[in-house]
Amino acid sequence: MKVLITDGVDFQCGQILAQNGFEVTEKPKITKEELKEIIGGFDKLIVRSATKVTAEILEYAPNLKLIGRAGAGVDNIDIEAATRNGIIVMNTPGGNTISAAEHACAMMLSAARLIPQATADLKQGNWNKKKFTGVELEGKTLSIIGLGKIGREVAKRMQAFGMKTIAYDPMIPDEYAAHLQIELLPLHENFIRADFITIHSSLNESTRNLLSRDTFELMKKGVIIVNCARGGIINEADLAEAIESGKVACAALDVFETEPVSPENPLLKLDRVIATPHIAASTNEAQEKVAVQIAEQIVAWKQNGRLEGAVNASAVELAQAPGVRAYLTLAEKLGATLAQLAAQEAKKMTVRTSGEFLQKFNEVITAAALKGFLDVRLSKETNYINAFTMAKDCGISLEQKFEKENPDYTNLIRVELENGSTKRMIGGTVFGDKEVRIVMIDRFLVEFKPEGNIIIYNNIDKPGVIANVTQLLLQHNLNVAYIALSRDEEKKEAMTAIVVDGDVTPELLGEIRTVNGVSSACLVSL
């Protein structure tokens, strides 16, 4: 268990990991090229914000199983590429919440009273009281864009200054916001009503350039803007124009689109811009908290499989719930069996679960079925994290369905595979706590334990077929462990599953296919 720690993560992180049996290497100022050279020797990587864990870097990390971010943001990590490679990405939500919230509040106060500008002017020997007339916070409207942990802590502190707090966050219920004395409003209404705007959302395609020329036009003249979240959420060129025109009275920025920020950035040349070098979480307390937290999360994962702070492993977290393990084993077996039964390429897979217990596990059961299927069809290793992206790469469309109950089984999993007009289906259940059984294939109700080598064949329902097949098995010195039969009396067809002890050769399978009445035969190895 080799861990690489970069970016000067507090020493307590490595200390805790070493005490719990990890082999720790610390490279606080590693370059991109140096990282590419050594990352292949590690199965865990811990970073802060400086190390960019890109898809290119991950190509050099075949053994990597986990990336830990000592902090909340993960925009320096390519989540999609990590997921595609089956790598868990884990952060430390809440570890630097207070530090970031306090910094945002400090920036807001500084912008309202122009404290840094007045300090610099005074140190130059001036005494310009009128030049630095500020504004009060009391009675003003503060818009909080992103009402996560940091946004909520900012709201609490600024309410103490007498500010009216409004917010935009599509993930937060109105009732919860009202409990915090925050009024949730559409985004454009936040821009129209706010005297101050503070940003606390992540950077993604929906938030990139969220504040730009069009949105600045909606705002009050003299609005004050604070961004201690992520660069790129504000269009920097448009912000500079808005400050120069007087639309924005002052901007306080801890983050920039490109970091380190260029000295030529036009925002740095404006008197009405307060800037700090991405230090909102840079307090002794915060750095200690996130370092200890990420180490403890990794130790917990090692010792009991518990995933805390995993941002791309909801299926893995669900898999740890009591009672679900046997159903995941079943789902993998169903996927693997179907992959061997169906000769055609998969264009669409549908996973159906029945029974109230299985309802909340739909996602992880689907991931397990995909893993079982793709492990047979592909040479690359699949897991619950990358199963969905791997299926997408293979051109498999996916559908998940749930029904509250099934007339025959308390809990049932069915996996269907389609390619044009061709469709195959397999279903199974768990008896007791762990007795996994396949109970249906296509239209046949046939029950057997999905283990070992299983010969499955379809035949005309007539006397002598099973006798002839078992005679062939005897000739090949194979012992029959179990036989399951199913008949379609209307169509005079049957299906048989024979579990055998020993290996089934291609020659034997070919002989079974020539038995009079046998229409198809295949081997399933589990």
Tokens 């992206």 map to which residue? 389
Q: Across the strands, what pairs with 24?
A: 3
**CA dist., res. 210 & res. 229, Å (int):** 13
Closest-CA residue to 198 (of 73, 106, 95, 98): 106
Maximum distance among all alpha carbons in the chain? 109
Which of 37, 136, 217, 259 is labelled catalytic?
Answer: 259
Buried b (16+ CB within 10 A) or exposed e, 184-199: bbeeeebbebbbbbbb
Catalytic: 230? yes
260 upstream amide cis, omega within 30 of 0: yes
Closest-CA residue to 493 (of 519, 524, 523): 519
**CA dist., res. 36 & res. 57, Å (int):** 6
Collect all residues with Cβ–Cβ distance below 8 Å to 125 and sequence separation of at least 6: none
Tally of CB atoms within 10 A around 321: 12
Are residues 114 and 132 in contact, defined by beta-carbon separation less than 8 angstroms? yes
Catalytic: 200? no
Report residue 505 as tokens.
Answer: 């050769």
DSSP string for residues in 357-424: HHHTTHHHHHHHHHHHHHHHH-SS---TTTHHHHHHHTT-EEEEEEES--SS-SSEEEEEEEETTEEE
**CA dist., res. 59 & res. 68, Å (int):** 18
Collect all residues with Cβ–Cβ distance below 8 Å to 294 and sequence separation of at least 6: 9, 13, 46, 68, 69, 70, 90, 91, 92, 95, 309
Are residues 419 and 479 in contact, defined by beta-carbon separation less than 8 angstroms? no
Which of 84, 230, 352, 424 is labelled catalytic?
Answer: 230
Catalytic: 259? yes
CA end-to-end span of the chain: 30
**CA dist., res. 184 & res. 207, Å (int):** 18
DSSP string for residues in 437-472: EEEEETTEEEEE---SEEEEEEEES-TTHHHHHHHH
Report residue 387 as tokens.
Answer: 């199963």
Tokens 């898999």 map to which residue? 319
Please give the backbone phi and psi of residue 375, each rounded to the nearest 5 degrees, phi first.
-60, -30
Which of 84, 278, 352, 377 is labelled catalytic?
Answer: 278
Give catalytic residues, as residue numbers.
Answer: 230, 259, 278
